[in-house]
Structure 1
Amino acid sequence: MPFPGTWMTESESMIYRVVPKCACSTIGQIMFYSDHGHYYDGDIHDATSGIHKWALDRSQPILERGVTARETYTFTCVRNPYSRVLSSFFDKICGIQRNGKRYRGNLVPMLTKRYGIEVEGDFDQIASFRRFLLFVRDTIRFRKPMDPDIHWSACSGHVSTLIRNGGRYNLIFPTERFNDGMKEVLANTQHAYDIDIDTMPRFNESEGHGPKRLHPVEDYFDDLSNHLMQEIYRRDFNLFKYAKEPYAGPPVREMDLDEIHAKLNG
């Protein structure tokens, strides 16, 4: 059974389902530190030792056993759809990646040609983002002109793979309440090294890749783009209890783990 995007500490103290653009770099570093007493030197996504990942062949049988046995504390983290898709735009579309190149090579030129998206110089951030959102809708609804990318595909899709293949989450928490969520994870797991969540550094590996966002989150969404958001991320809004109006805040109601498992197990 496949468990893509699943990480586990080498000590097998905790299992985490990675959801892109939802504090995954910081969470991975916390897991690494909890075993080794220091942070990974570099982007934790590049680590090939010191942590189990489904992408590493030698880790797969260990992860499969851990997930399906349901004895290891298992968690993930989600994010407000409005701020998450904006983050994807500024990082992956407007930004230069850590390899010095544009994300996915010819993606930005294609977006410029087909959708009129501008990312150079003093461009209109709001207009370009709204055109990007049309592209996101096309990838998710019609799988054209490409399949949806992991950075803007719905959180619920990432979360569901572990459930459908026999796993169960002990906790799903929002990035907007990150400290409380990670404290709950650490309070329910045993680890060799303690971490002070309130004072530890944050590992935002995408920070600085793209231009600074110039406007409040709400300004990027007009009636049409908000309608597209409901179409694209309906399940995220419903399951993770975010308000269906442009803002960057936390869920407006408590998540129901039983509901999430039931509805994502299909």
Structure 2
Amino acid sequence: MKLRKVTAASAAVLALALSATACGGDDNNNVDSGSSGGGTIKVGIKYDQPGLGLKEPDGSFSGFDVDVATYVAKELGYPADKIEFVETKSADRENAIARGDVKFIAATYSINDERAAKVNFAGPYLLAHQDLLIKSDSDITKGTDLNGKKLCSVTGSTSAQNVKNDIAPDAQLKQQAGYSECIAALQSGAVDAVTTDDSILAGFAAQDKYKGQFKLAGLKLSNENYGIGLKKDDTATTDKINAALTKMVSDGSWQKAVDANFGPAGYKNEPAPKIGNIVS
């Protein structure tokens, strides 16, 4: 009797454990079973960069990074309605990947050695450059023209400091909490130029409320290779994403996304980069 009671209890525990496993499954909740199984995928993007990654007032998302992420997710087996976009701020991108908060990140994520030591990168899918956004009637034509002028970037950014250190030491550096504040200062005349990646600047300039007011100086002060970040050593998914990006370029979807998101700002984008080719 005693043996039978223990066996019955053990069976009950085993059944409960199996039930919990069936319900819970893998604790990595950034990706489920794909479109065939009705699952979803979590993708990291920016929420505050017009033209790249922006959460609209109605809760939808727009921008070039969003278009790239949507295309890639579809190639991985997840249609648009199976994608859950997650806000990933610049300082938290590597942590978000390591924690498993997202499957991959497409968020103006420049590839460099320090980051590549922590995550895998697919791509690059866009070659951007540090540049200046100036008023349409500005007489700034080269970096040294910023000497004595007011230059804006966000607090903690290296972009403006690079200009001040290497190009225009007499520029008056103004720092704001975000690029929206810098753009507003440029519009009002409080600053003479805003600096960061040209793709980000073009996204802001392409907004309806700014159309025709600004232009990019076209100085190409640095090379920024945007890649898709994902978990370190996930070679299988990296290869699949690279294949998806290659297809996006070859079928014309890449150029269509560039034109739709940056065209209104007159952004002269570089040709689509060759996957795996990092321009330094």
Bigger radius of gyration among the two:
2
Choose between structure 1 and 2 for higher RCO, CA contacts under 8 A separated by at least 6 residues.
Answer: 1
Under TM normalisation by the shorter chain, which class is it?
0.3 to 0.5
Q: Which has the higher strand share?
A: 2
TM-score for both structures, normalised by structure 1: 0.32
